[in-house]
Amino acid sequence: MQDRLRAWEDDFVPSFWSAKNAMLQAAGVAFERHGVREGQQFVLMCLWREDGLSPGEIARRLSLATPTVTRTVTRMETSGLVERHPHPTDARLVSVRLTERGQGLRAALDAEMNALSERALRGFGEEERRAFTRMLDALTANLRAER
Amino acid sequence: MQDRLRAWEDDFVPSFWSAKNAMLQAAGVAFERHGVREGQQFVLMCLWREDGLSPGEIARRLSLATPTVTRTVTRMETSGLVERHPHPTDARLVSVRLTERGQGLRAALDAEMNALSERALRGFGEEERRAFTRMLDALTANLRAER
DNA sequence: ACGGAAACATTAGTCGGCTAACGAAAAAGC
DNA sequence: GCTTTTTCGTTAGCCGACTAATGTTTCCGT
């Protein structure tokens, strides 16, 4: 679509949208062979850093809606990546814990993630990569700020 | 999540993912008041440039899978944005045509799109915006190339 | 001319986002 | 201490993305 939709003065939105879809597809392919769906790796990432978090806390850390995490956790439970446990003191909370399989995937997914970055950013210089990431973070901050 | 998931040497992927989600949400809010769902504006964009395209052709121009367009068109038909017509010479093809309402939304959605860009890129200089868009296009090209 | 191959749209089913509505448990207020 | 409010997780339902499978129609090769 890149060349065909330059109707706006600022063609940033279509470019971002194309990039988003390309990344989604590439990530899907990259993770499917590990039995992990695109998006689930970020939940795993949270739990690698701190196991036993609640769905709500995961949602907060990932800036997602809680129901999104709830359902994702259910699917990850089905595929044996995590388990739900009751919280010891607060009966409202649910503790999401990694299974052995969930823990064991860390290195593989780490490598997959780096490979994905490398493919996406091929031809980008060091400084350019940093600038790109910085701009993405600025964009996120801009959009999350005024709401 | 921005500060909490810096586990990889290259934290580009989480940054992109956050930006993607922020953009999706912002776009959803921006377009919903016009009765247009996030994603549908790109189909409209195609048809504004050239009305009567087939679902497959739209999919090709937007780099989407055909079923995605098929179902989107069905929903847009329901909400009165487009209509399906038979192709005059090729019975396999379907011609997707804008309704008056679909045509009339052009200016409003154009403005909404520019406002979204502006919000997302607040604080970015002219050159920075161009560089950002260029990098997004490069990313898309990288990922679409080696498949 | 006819039979197989290719192109096209659609349906069905999966997953990841969201909002809205619920019900249960803890906290806060009186 | 009891009621109200807040917090939390889940369910239900919408939409956008995908793949796989189906059924037509056209096209091509023999």
Contacts of B58 in chain A (CB under 8 A): none
Q: Does A117 touch chain B (CB under 8 A)?
A: yes
The dotted CATH code for B12-120 is 1.10.10.10
The pLDDT of residue A147 is 54
Ranking A13-17, B24-28, B70-74, B142-146 by mean pLDDT, the lowest is B142-146
The pLDDT tens digits of the residues spanning A22-69 come to: 999 999 999 999 999 999 999 999 999 999 999 999 999 999 999 999
CA distance A119 to chain B (A): 7
The bases of strand D with some atom under 7 A from any protein CB are 7-13, 15-21, 23-27
B31, B134, B142, B146: which to substitute to probe chain A, counting the most A Cβ within 10 Å? B142
* Host H or E run for residue B109: helix B106-120
Query: Which chain A residue's Cα is nearest to B129?
Result: A12
Distance CA B107, CA B105 (A): 6
Q: What is the pLDDT of residue A145?
A: 83
Q: Residue A121: pLDDT above 60? A: yes
Higher pLDDT, A146 or A68: A68
**Mean pLDDT within A123-127:** 93
Give domain limits for chain A. 25-115
Inter-chain residue contact B132 with A132, CB threshold 8 Å? yes
pLDDT digits (tens, 9 = 90+) for A74-84: 999 999 999 99
DSSP string, A103-116: HHTHHHHHHHHHHH
Residue B7 pLDDT exceeds 90? no
Q: Which residues of A touch B9 (CB under 8 A)?
A: 114
CA separation, residue A58 to residues A23, B4, B62 (Å): 23, 11, 33
Tell me if B12 and A122 make a contact (CB, 8 A cut-off): no
B36 residue type, one letter: V
Correct CATH for A25-115 of 3.10.129.10, 2.60.40.10, 3.30.1320.10, 1.10.10.10:
1.10.10.10
pLDDT recorded at residue A1: 43
Q: Using the beta-carbon criterion (under 8 Å), do B17 and A42 form an inter-chain contact?
A: yes
How far apart CA A109 and CA B80 sit, in angstroms, is 44
- A18–B136 CB contact, under 8 Å: yes
Mean pLDDT of the residues in chain B: 92
CB neighbour class for A113 (10 Å; exposed up to 12, middle 13-18, buried from 19): buried
Residue A146: the pLDDT is 65
Q: Distance from first CA to last CA of chain A, Å, rounded?
A: 31
Model confidence pLDDT, tens digit, residues B83-109: 999 999 999 999 999 999 999 999 999
pLDDT at A50: 96
Mean pLDDT of chain A: 92
Q: CB distance B140–A25 less than 8 Å?
A: no
Q: What is the percent of chain B where pLDDT is above 70?
A: 92
Which of A86, A80, A84, A91 has the alpha carbon at shortest distance from A69? A84
Q: What is the DSSP-derived secondary structure letter of residue A44? A: H
Tell me the nearest-neighbour CA distance from B86 into chain A, angstroms: 25
Nearest to A84 by CA among A43, A36, A42: A43
Closest CA to B21 of A143, A131, A41: A143
- The distance (Å) linking the CA of A41 with the C1' of D29 is 50
Note whether B143 and A118 are within 8 A (CB).
Answer: no
Does A108 contact B at CB distance below 8 Å? Answer: no
